[in-house]
Every structure is written in C-alpha cells, then in structure tokens.
Structure 1
Amino acid sequence: MNEITGTTRLMATIGDPIQQVLAPQEINRLMAARGIDAVLVPMQVPVAGLEKAADGLRQMSNLEGVIVTVPHKNAFVALCDELTPEAARVGAVNIVRRLPDGRLRGGILDGLGFVGGLRGNGIDPAGMRVYVAGAGGASTAITYALGDAGAAAITIANRSAAKAEELAARLRAEFPAVAVAVGTSDPSGHDLVINCTSLGMRPGDALPLDAERLTPDQVVAEVIMKPVETALLVAARNRGCRIHHGKPMLVSQIEMMADFMLQAAP
C-alpha cells in the first residue's frame, strides 16, 4: 500500500458490523497497482448514526466515495442526492461517489458483481430456477441482475413475508417472463440456491434455509465473504452440492467500484 500523506485521497466502506469486509484489501491493492495516491478504510456506522455519517461525508473534501455494505444498502438510497438509473430501479446502493460540490451520487454494482462472479466460475444463470434467501438490498440487486441474465424462475424467501411479497411484486412487474414466487425455508426444486442474508457471518447464526432439503444437483452460493465457508456452504458441501463462495461477487466488481468513486459523475 502507498504511504499515506496529506495529499492522499480517501475512500471508505461503511457497514455494521465491519470486521468481515474484504474491500479495503482489494481496493488498496488496486490503487497500488495503478499508482494512485488513494486509500480505502473501513468505518463502522450503526443504523442510528447513518444519516449523521452521510452529512459528515459531504463535508470531507478529500473523500472520493464510499462502499456501502450490510445493513445500509437500502437506507442509503434516501441519503443520496442523486442515483444512477440502475440504483433507482433497484432501490439500493452499494457504491457512492462524493461529487466535488459535496453531493452524494449512489450506484449499485452488487447484481453485476454476483452474476459476473458466477459466470467467472462457469455458472450461467440463464434458464435456471433460482432460490434466494433474503429480501434486502443485496437480494434486490441480485434478483434484478438474475432477471436481466435470463433466469427462468426466482423464488424469494424471507423472515418477513411482507418484504418478500413486495420484492416479488416488483420483479413480476419488471420481468413478466420470469416465474416469480414467494417461498418458504425449503430450497428444493431449484437449480441455484443463494444466501443473500447476513446469517452465517457470526458464529452460532441460524442457517438461512433448510439445508436438509438440499440435493447434489444444486449449486449453493453465498454473498458472505468472511468466513470463507459459512455454515450453509459446509452443509451444502456435505450434501454433495457444488458451492460458490461470496468473494467472487466482490472481486468481479472491484475495478467498477474504484472507477465509480474516482471518476466524476457524467
């Protein structure tokens, strides 16, 4: 990593918890490789402090932007002064550019990153029946990207059925050719099973779905990057499933994230 000086440009990743993030390592390696005097640091911001934190970001003239992670991806939408068309469509942000006048411009790259990570590992979601655990910001971005990628069916399962129904209704309107349903904890009958919740990040977390219903013909994927193998992935491997780790989603969007933060808005 480059030496930090008074001319170093700042970037951050904001979430709560924050110990699990891998973006600082990836972005800082990229900055060093590009010869750019910029650094990204993690910032732990609780939900109650998010609005004040956003106000503070606006005042930092040497700040280029922030990566937004759990649990702020939906809430940060209302704190942005403008959104990319994709972020407005999805209703979530995971990347924010601080414009020279202090305004915050939000974008969403999670969906592109996740599908890119799948394809990079030889998994094409086109024509697949997909089960998604969770209905938050990551789930929304990923399900929209799966619709764009040609998934045949998408099932949303969430602890709050109302939230799952809301996302399902949006997907049906956006992708009339995709069979969209609200499901239970049972992931059987799907080709691709994705955990888009935070369950698995902490030791002792409950599984996000009924792993006993997994079958060897399924691909089970995570968005969680740390631990590398969550309890769900371990259970899926034990059931004979092909597993897909969370890190490819980040790796496939790192350059897009850096470019979004370091370039002026069009």
Structure 2
Amino acid sequence: MTSHPISGYTRVYAHFAYPSEHVRTPGVFNAYFRRRGIDAVCIPVKVAPAGLAAAVAMCRSWENLAGIGVTMPHKETIAGLLDERTEGVRRAGASNVIKRLPDGRLLGGQLDGYGFVHGLKTNGFDPAGSRALLLGAGGSARAVAMELALNGIAALRIANRSRDRAEALAADVRREFPELAVSVADASTVQDATLIVNTTSVGMKPDDPLPVDLSGLTPQVTVADIIMKPEVTPLLEAARERGCAIHPGLQMLVGQLDVTAEWLDLAPAREAVGDMAVAR
C-alpha cells in the first residue's frame, strides 16, 4: 500500500457534517487515497446549520482544497450556496460533492444516486423493472429517487414523516420522468414493493424503531439502507432474518470513490457520469 506524508502539496477534501462523530467517509476516503497513491487527505468538518454559509464562503479562498463532501443535514441547503451546479444537482435539488475550481468558484455535484445504484449493480441487483419503496424525502432520498428513475424502475412509492416533503419530491420526479408511476404512501408498509430503500436516519441509534412495517415482507424483496454506521442496521438484520437480500449503506459510498476522485481532479478520469455536466 502506497502512502504519502501530509505536506504543503497535499490536497484537502473536507467533509461537512453535523454532527460529524458518526461519519465514516473520511476513513474510507483516506484508505482509498493511500491505496491509489493519491496525495490527498479527507478531514471531517463539523459545521452546524447556522454556520454553513460562512463555511462555504471560506472555502472559496482555500487554495489547496480539492472539494467538499456533504452529508446530513446540509445536502439540500448547500445546493443554494454554490456558484454552479451540475445537472444532477438541478434534478435532485441537493449536492453531496463540491469541486473547488481554480478561480475559487464552487461547483456542486451529485453522486449519491450514482453510488447507490452502482453499488446495487456491482452486487448483482439491477433495479430496472423494480417497484421501489423509498423511505425518506431529504437530500439523499432525492438523489436516489432520480437515479432509480434513470435506471428504469417500474414504479416509485415515497413514504416520509412529513407528507408535504414526500409530495414535493414526488412532483419533482414526475416532472423529470413523466412516464414513471409515482405515488406517496400514507403509511410505511411494504405492500407490493420489490425494492425497499431507507434514506432516513432511523436505525443509527440502537433503540430506533424500524422505519417500515415489515409485515408481509417476502424473500423476493431486496432491502437497502444508506446508513453506514452501524453497517447492518436493525432494518437490514430484520430483512435478512426473513430471507431477503440486503444492501448496506457503505456500498453507496464505495460506489462513489473512483468517480469522486476523478471529478475532483485527484485521479485521471476513466468514465463519464452523465448528469455531472454543468446545468445551464
């Protein structure tokens, strides 16, 4: 394994979160940078919502900053603080990876959905034709919903604690994909879903309830969670006990490693991600 000492040449990838203690992204990216021999370091940055605008402004003058990774609760808010956005950010209304351009401008990108679907396919599950139940309507949910739609799901049902947010996401998906059957669930039940995706934070704490009623769940359903810690959430454990294929949240991050490094100019580009073009 190749490694580089941190020096004045080292590029920085800041990871904005609040709180930051639970995040796994810095550790995963730093291991990846060492493995690839990339002279970069990922650092956690604990930024409260009230300080987000000031933190973003400061990044414009941070010359050895390659970019910013973004996690909850900032993905939607930060999209409105940037100088430019990719087509993926425009579509999802949220940004999870930001590139600092040489002149200090900040270009927001969206790779959560790409990473999630790439991880599914890498592990043998193609979402095309699936009837998806999406739990949550925040920044990650928006990205996952749009990417699942791009990859040919047959139907999308959205369940969220706030029905207004679920309705807003459903309206946005219908606007981008008018042929897709999109509905909002009055209750979080599995019904006829063949793919269940939890994008909420429910499951991060050991005493959290399950985010969905698993009555009627059959082994033919694939159950995914985007929570990275714990790696196997209570939802995934319950689904596994019922014979379902499960997909842990860490896979969404692993699926983004190469394209993030390439987009931030930390490694040579090998593939193009369609919705990373700048929105006009």
TM-score (norm 1): 0.94
Counterpart position of 1:196: 199
Counterpart position of 2:23: 21
Match 2:61 to one of 59, 71, 79: 59
Aligned residues of 1:200 and 1:232 also touching (Cα < 8 A): yes
| Cα deviation, residue 57, structure 1 | 1.4
More deviation, 179-188/130-139: 179-188
Counterpart position of 1:83: 85
Match 2:177 to one of 166, 170, 175: 175
Aligned residues of 1:187 and 1:214 also touching (Cα < 8 A): yes
Aligned residues of 1:27 and 1:258 also touching (Cα < 8 A): no
Letter in 2 for 1:35: G
Match 2:126 to one of 104, 115, 124: 124
| Cα deviation, residue 263, structure 1 | 6.1
The verdict on how the C-alpha distance between 1:235 and 1:88 changes in structure 2, with shifts beyond 3 A counting, is same
Distance across 2 between alignment mates of 1:52 and 1:188: 45
Aligned residues of 1:65 and 1:262 also touching (Cα < 8 A): no
Counterpart position of 2:158: 156
| Cα deviation, residue 20, structure 1 | 2.8
Aligned residues of 2:38 and 2:266 also touching (Cα < 8 A): no
Distance across 2 between alignment mates of 1:226 and 1:243: 15
Letter in 1 for 2:78: F
1:256 aligns with 2:259: yes
Match 2:214 to one of 199, 208, 211: 211
Distance across 2 between alignment mates of 1:185 and 1:27: 34
Match 2:74 to one of 72, 75, 98: 72
More deviation, 42-51/159-168: 42-51
| Cα deviation, residue 10, structure 1 | 1.0
Q: Deviations over 1:11-51 (max 9, x none)?
A: 11111122332222232233223333211111111112111
Aligned residues of 2:115 and 2:252 also touching (Cα < 8 A): yes
Counterpart position of 2:107: 105
Counterpart position of 2:242: 239
Distance across 2 between alignment mates of 1:7 and 1:171: 43
1:140 aligns with 2:142: yes
Distance across 2 between alignment mates of 1:10 and 1:245: 27
Distance across 2 between alignment mates of 1:31 and 1:195: 29
More deviation, 42-51/74-83: 42-51
Letter in 2 for 1:54: V
Aligned residues of 1:109 and 1:253 also touching (Cα < 8 A): yes
Counterpart secondary structure, 1:59: coil
Please, what is the CA RMSD of the aligned residues?
Answer: 1.8
Query: What are the ranges of 5 or more consecutive residues in structure 2 without an aligned counterpart?
Result: 268-276
Distance across 1 between alignment mates of 2:17 and 2:157: 27
Counterpart position of 2:232: 229
Aligned residues of 1:16 and 1:71 also touching (Cα < 8 A): yes
Counterpart position of 1:220: 223
Letter in 1 for 2:68: V
Aligned residues of 1:133 and 1:158 also touching (Cα < 8 A): yes
Between Structure 1 and Structure 2, how many residues are aligned?
A: 266
Distance across 2 between alignment mates of 1:135 and 1:254: 24
| Cα deviation, residue 131, structure 1 | 0.1
Query: What are the ranges of 5 or more consecutive residues in structure 1 without an aligned counterpart?
Result: none
Letter in 1 for 2:98: V
